[in-house]
A and B are shown apart, each in its own frame.
Chain A
């Protein structure tokens, strides 16, 4: 126990050392002139900028805009994906009819839709949410579809033999099975939602982290770009650990896949 604990502490210390080492190398590089400060900025400047944003409070509006957009994408895209996945899994004829179109739609790089949504929904949050929805929808849809279709045959038969009606099969077997798939893809959905809204903001917005980064880039302010990236990364990390906790709670029956699962963060 204590051996494992000290090994864990050593790993964490190593992780910190690695990160700080890389930052120091970067700092040293830009100070000594190996890295051009104009293109690469330097960690101390980036930190100072982030701190300035926090101190003046100017960052919160952007950050909350981005995360509200991502949350709306997740909610709308997720709800549509669950319903569509369920219906198509239960109505094979419909699934067969729509199959080629779903494939085409999913193969389309969604980013190219961002300008279209910008035209349709304007500069506000809804053009970002629209792009996020198109991304989240497919992840949730495919997982729901698979979760409902891939229910273990024996488990279904067992529930039937125990007297389950069609409705009870859905409530007690199909929905929990689909939920397993949906929740285990939550990391992916959350990550993609954030990427999508940031990209959409980058293309045209009045608020948000993507907008902040685009603004900084427009005036060749590399420090601003890196500061924006840093804030975004911290925010995503925070959300990711929240998702982890949620997953552990909802999928507790899966015998806690021990290990922090930090590698699969978004």
Chain B
């Protein structure tokens, strides 16, 4: 793990970042900060460039203009301090659960009994005890997400990027996975940037919600603090009055962007 950061240091800072794809401007002149240790969600209508922003922070996409700083260092190439949980299947199908979870350690040259113990501990932690030797194709969608979760977290990254990681799961599995993510994050000092189109999910998990405008050329149009106390019980949080207040406040803005995006795509 990296050195401890003073509270509210900037884990990520985007400064006037734009990105074009062959003539199409996905995001334009975006600027925002993510405070270290915070759980921040990016929400916005579909096609607003949320994933583009996340890929730029990951270093998988280079911005066409602007600067990305990660813990105050300008980012060039892959973001070495970040793990990424993808929306799609990203496990290596030819590696077992154990092999997949160990992957980040293997790539860092940490092999041997120590790494193995650590991987086994993560298997237990994400509730996959007894499945170490299975291949991804032999697991359910929820179990594969658990593997992906352990895979991303085992390297103890300073920053975790998640792109609608639970979008494909059924409602109940999703709720459980969200609780587990909060549990693991609560015990770590990692910063999370979470992309979703589901405002309820964003509010119930985050410290802060950033609203992106409808694409093309989307930008940050709103920034909302979520002052719900932690630890949170995701089963009950959606019935709390404060949750509803926050939801109504953000939704009135998000709604406009969704309508705009419908008009543009119509």
Q: Is there an interface contact between B83 and A161, defined as CB atoms closer than 8 Å? A: yes
Q: Is there an interface contact between A168 and B92, defined as CB atoms closer than 8 Å? A: no
Q: Does A31 contact B (CB under 8 A)?
A: no
Given contacts A165-B107, A253-B135, A253-B137, contact A159 B92 (CB under 8 A): yes
Q: Is there an interface contact between A164 and B92, defined as CB atoms closer than 8 Å? A: no
Q: Is there an interface contact between B89 and A154, defined as CB atoms closer than 8 Å? A: yes
Q: Is there an interface contact between A155 and B107, defined as CB atoms closer than 8 Å? A: no
Q: Is there an interface contact between A158 and B86, defined as CB atoms closer than 8 Å? A: yes
Q: Is there an interface contact between B88 and A172, defined as CB atoms closer than 8 Å? A: no
With a CB–CB cut-off of 8 A, which chain B residues contact A254?
93, 137
Q: Does B58 contact A (CB under 8 A)?
A: yes
* Chain A at the B interface: SS class: helix
* Chain B at the A interface: SS class: loop
With a CB–CB cut-off of 8 A, which chain B residues contact A237?
none
Q: Does A215 contact B (CB under 8 A)?
A: no
Q: Looking at chain A, what size class is its interface with the partner chain?
A: 20 to 34
Given contacts A157-B60, A252-B135, A254-B137, contact A163 B90 (CB under 8 A): no
Interface flags for A218-240 (1: CB within 8 Å of B; 0: not) read 00000000000000000000000
Q: Is there an interface contact between A162 and B155, defined as CB atoms closer than 8 Å? A: yes
Q: Does B108 contact A (CB under 8 A)?
A: yes
Q: Does A160 contact B (CB under 8 A)?
A: yes
Minimal beta-carbon separation of A202 from chain B (angstroms): 40
Q: Is there an interface contact between B92 and A155, defined as CB atoms closer than 8 Å? A: yes
**Which chain B residue shows the least CB distance to A158?**
B90
Interface flags for A153-194 (1: CB within 8 Å of B; 0: not) read 011011111111100100011001100100000000000000
Q: Is there an interface contact between A160 and B94, defined as CB atoms closer than 8 Å? A: no
Q: Is there an interface contact between B135 and A162, defined as CB atoms closer than 8 Å? A: no
In the complex the two chains form, what is the Cα distance from A25 to B201 in whole Å? Answer: 72
Given contacts A254-B137, A255-B138, contact A161 B78 (CB under 8 A): yes
With a CB–CB cut-off of 8 A, which chain B residues contact A154?
86, 88-90
With a CB–CB cut-off of 8 A, which chain A residues contact B135?
252-253, 255
Minimal beta-carbon separation of B233 from chain A (angstroms): 31
Quick one: which of A158, A161, A180 contacts B94, CB cutoff 8 A? A180
Quick one: which of B60, B86, B94, B103 contacts A176, CB cutoff 8 A? B94
Minimal beta-carbon separation of B184 from chain A (angstroms): 17
Minimal beta-carbon separation of B224 from chain A (angstroms): 28
New A-B pairs, 9, CB < 8 Å, besides A159-B103, A253-B135: A152-B89, A154-B90, A162-B151, A163-B104, A163-B107, A164-B107, A172-B95, A177-B94, A255-B138
